Amino acid sequence: MPYYHYYFDYTYILVLIGAVICMIASWKVKSTFGKYSHYRSLSGMTGAQAAERILHSAGIYDVQVRHISGSLTDNYNPRSKTLNLSDSVCNSTSVAAVGVAAHECGHAIQHAKGYIPLQLRSMFVPVANFGSMLAWPLIIIGLFFNSRSAITLVDIGIFCFSFAVIFQLITLPVEFNASRRALVQLREQGILGEQELVYTRKVLVSAALTYVASAAAAILQLLRLVILFGGRGRDND
């Protein structure tokens, strides 16, 4: 019978640490973006105009730049080939807005060039969703049916959860690479000056840190599962 539900589960601290890291990262990106939303770029280009310029210079003409509602909801959708820019990016001429628009262009360029980590990431989406959906049910069912086999349902549950962690890790090179491409394009196209690029880089780095925080939180959750259930669930009657 599993007995660890009856006393304070100290491993929950790992989940809390993960949540705090994510909150700090999210606050940081919002405040950095907010700060550099007030710096208008000298070129006077809006996020949407900068995106068009970058896409065309990369020889991409089949990606549509669109406006979507929300804040920091910007994304590139490879299926519909649309570059969706939010309220504070699309029509803003700030160095923050232009930076975010260029970052999404970075994803469009990755897609056009068949950048392998992006392809891996897209392939991994359904696996990761399936894994995180099944992980907890399998672990809970596994705890009720103590099995003496070498591999228990609990182990399979933890294995499924690790797919979600791998997904977070594959996301990191994709995001860092998109930002690197963005800064190169902004410089080469003369959209931003050297000092403006320093500010834009700060915005993009803080955005990338939210992905690092998510990955760290996922690793901590996996660690918690291993501490709680790894090697348990069998022969402990």
Active centre residues (catalytic): 104
State the minimum distance, in angstroms, from the CB of residue 103 to Zn ion: 6
Nearest distance from C-beta of residue 207 to Zn ion, angstroms: 7
Residues 82-111 that bind Zn ion (CB under 5 A): none
- What is the smallest separation between the CB atom of 81 and Zn ion, expressed in angstroms? 16
Return the number of the residue (119 or 147) whose C-beta is nearest Zn ion.
119
User: Which is it for strands 64-67 and 75-77: parallel, antiparallel or unpaired?
Assistant: unpaired
Give the residue with the Cβ less far from Zn ion, 162 or 210: 210
**Nearest-angstrom CA–CA distance, 21 and 183:** 26
- Whole-angstrom CA distances from 211 to 92, 166, 181 are 25, 13, 17
Q: List, as one string, the DSSP characters of 163-189.
A: HHHHHHHHHHHHHHHHHHHHHHHHHHT
Q: Residues 172-191: x/- map of binding to Zn ion (CB under 5 A)?
A: ---x--x-------------
Residue 92 tokens, joined: 């803003």
DSSP code at position 40: B
Min separation Cβ 63 and Zn ion, Å: 15
- By three-state DSSP, how is residue 75 classified? strand
Q: Which of 58/178 has CB closer to Zn ion? A: 178
Nearer to Zn ion, 107 or 232 (CB): 107
Cα–Cα distance measured from residue 9 to residue 179, given in angstroms and rounded to the nearest whole number: 40
**How many other C-beta atoms are found inside a 10 Å radius of the C-beta of residue 16?**
10
- Least Å from the CB of residue 216 to Zn ion: 18
Q: What is the dihedral of CA 126, 130, 131, 136, to 10 degrees?
A: 160
List binders of Zn ion among 184-223 (CB under 5 A): none
Give residues 19-58 in contact with Zn ion (rule: CB under 5 A). none
Task: Note the residue count of the chain.
Answer: 237
Q: Which stretch binds Zn ion (CB under 5 A): 5-13, 65-73, 144-152, 167-175?
A: 167-175
Total chain residues near Zn ion (CB under 5 A): 2
- Closer CB to Zn ion, 21 or 178, in the complex: 178
Residues in contact with Zn ion by CB under 5 A are 175, 178
